[in-house]
Structure 1
Amino acid sequence: MAGFEVYELTAAVLILGGALLVLLSAVSMLRAKDALQMMNVFSPAAGMGLPLVVIGIFVHLTGRDGFEWWTLMMAAVTICALVIVSSLASNTLARAVYQSGAPLDPATHPQDLADAGSGRQESAESTESTESTESTESGERTGRAASDD
């Protein structure tokens, strides 16, 4: 470690860690069974891997050239853009995959939230139908009682 400065080691660890996350995400994408699973395993690369690489580059440049506001601002804007664009792109691509009717792995449950919501709607509908049935039955009883008199 004679020739390494602390900032170089820190930058190397950050950059290699980010690159490792990107590599693991790429390998996971190859193993995914459908497009929605591919979108899901892409998240660590875009959300953590690439920002770690940017932070590592910022640490390296700061250690080599000294602190500059311009470098900090570029790194912050780049990280914000990566997070925002990757989340929007992932959401848009996942919706497009789902709406296209692409085949899904049977283990993929894209409607977990919709199923939970429809369960509430079904229970509300069944409650309404039970109430209407009860009111109809009570009305028939009242009508029968009036006709019997």
Structure 2
Amino acid sequence: MNLTFVAAGAGELIEFHEPTWPIAILAGALALAGAVYVFVSARAMYLAPDAISQINMIGPAAGVGLPLLILSNLVYSWGEIGFDFGVFLRAIAAIFTLLVIQAVGSYIMGRALHATHWDHTVPLSGGERAKEPK
């Protein structure tokens, strides 16, 4: 059963179609993979022994997880309204800016951590510091 909806907004008509099963499964798989990356990164960040390790754990979530979620949205919108070059450009721009902001943010957080002259090897989650060799 293929349902078609027409929406009128700002003087233009947009035709929406119900996405097919393969499109819905692909979009769902991409969203699930992205959510797993974000969850695993958050869990690893919680279990990280020190601040620098916690900063490093942001990488997989922002570098892989969030772009997968953006791609999932792109695939789903293609299944709903068909290929739209504007939506494609917005998705590519969102992924590109996300990766640039992640790299710059990681750099700034690392610099700020080192600028405080704080002993970043002290465990944050109540663990014990590794014994230093004698």
Structure 1 residue ranges, 4+ long, deviating more than 2 angstroms after superposition? none
1:106-145 to 2 correspondences below 5 Å: none
In structure 1, the residue matched to 2:21 is 5
Please report how far the alpha carbon of residue 102 of structure 1 lies from its aligned counterpart in structure 2 after TM superposition. Answer: 2.1
Question: RMSD over aligned Cα, in angstroms?
Answer: 1.7
1:83-133 CA-partner distances (Å, limit 9, x unpaired): 000110011101110111222227xxxxxxxxxxxxxxxxxxxxxxxxxxx
1:38-83 CA-partner distances (Å, limit 9, x unpaired): 1111100000000000001000000111000011011000000110
Please report how far the alpha carbon of residue 4 of structure 1 lies from its aligned counterpart in structure 2 after TM superposition. Answer: 5.9
Normalized per residue, the structure richer in strand is 2
Q: Normalised by the size of structure 1, how large is the TM-score?
A: 0.67
**Which of these residues, 62, 82, 87, is aligned with residue 78 of structure 2?**
62
Residue 91 of structure 2 is aligned to residue 84 of structure 1:
no
Normalized per residue, the structure richer in helix is 1
How far apart, CA to CA, are the structure 2 residues paired with 1:4 and 1:68? 17
Structure 1 residues without counterparts, runs of 5 or longer: 107-149
The 1:4/1:70 distance shift into structure 2, 3 A limit, reads closer
In structure 1, the residue matched to 2:116 is 100
How far apart, CA to CA, are the structure 2 residues paired with 1:102 and 1:40? 17
The 1:4/1:63 distance shift into structure 2, 3 A limit, reads closer
Q: Is the 8 A contact 1:34 1:103 kept in 2?
A: no
SS in 1 for 2:36: helix
In structure 1, the residue matched to 2:30 is 14
Structure 2 residues without counterparts, runs of 5 or longer: 1-18, 123-134
Q: Normalised by the size of structure 2, how large is the TM-score?
A: 0.74
More RCO (CA 8 Å, sep 6+): 2
